Amino acid sequence: MDNDERMRLQNHHLELLSPARDAGIAREAILHGADAVYIGGPGFGARPQRQQ
């Protein structure tokens, strides 16, 4: 890593973003170090939905 690259990296703040399916999980994620959480609606998740 050269000096220019090192300087660019020093100016960035990393954020830990955690998925949460509900407010309880979001709260626990924050309590355990997440900087932010995201909660998506049922149709927006990456996991396949179970067919009934």
Instruction: Quote the pTM value.
Output: 0.57
Residue in this structure with the two tokens 């149709």, named with its chain if needed? 43
Please report how many Cα atoms fall inside a 13 Å half-sphere around the Cα of residue 50, on the Cβ side: 1
Higher-pLDDT residue of 50 and 19 is: 19
Domain count, the chain: 1
Is the residue at 32 inside a domain?
yes
Distance between CA 45 and CA 24 in Å, rounded? 18
Is the residue at 9 inside a domain?
no
| Residue 27 near residue 18, CB atoms below 8 Å | no
34 by DSSP, 3-state: which?
Answer: coil
For 1-12, what is each residue's pLDDT tens digit?
Answer: 677 777 776 666
Distance between CA 7 and CA 13 in Å, rounded? 13
- For residue 37, the enclosing domain spans 14-51
For 34-47, what is each residue's pLDDT tens digit?
Answer: 999 998 777 776 66
Beta bridge partners of 38: 19
Is the residue at 18 inside a domain?
yes
Is the residue at 22 inside a domain?
yes
Is the residue at 2 inside a domain?
no
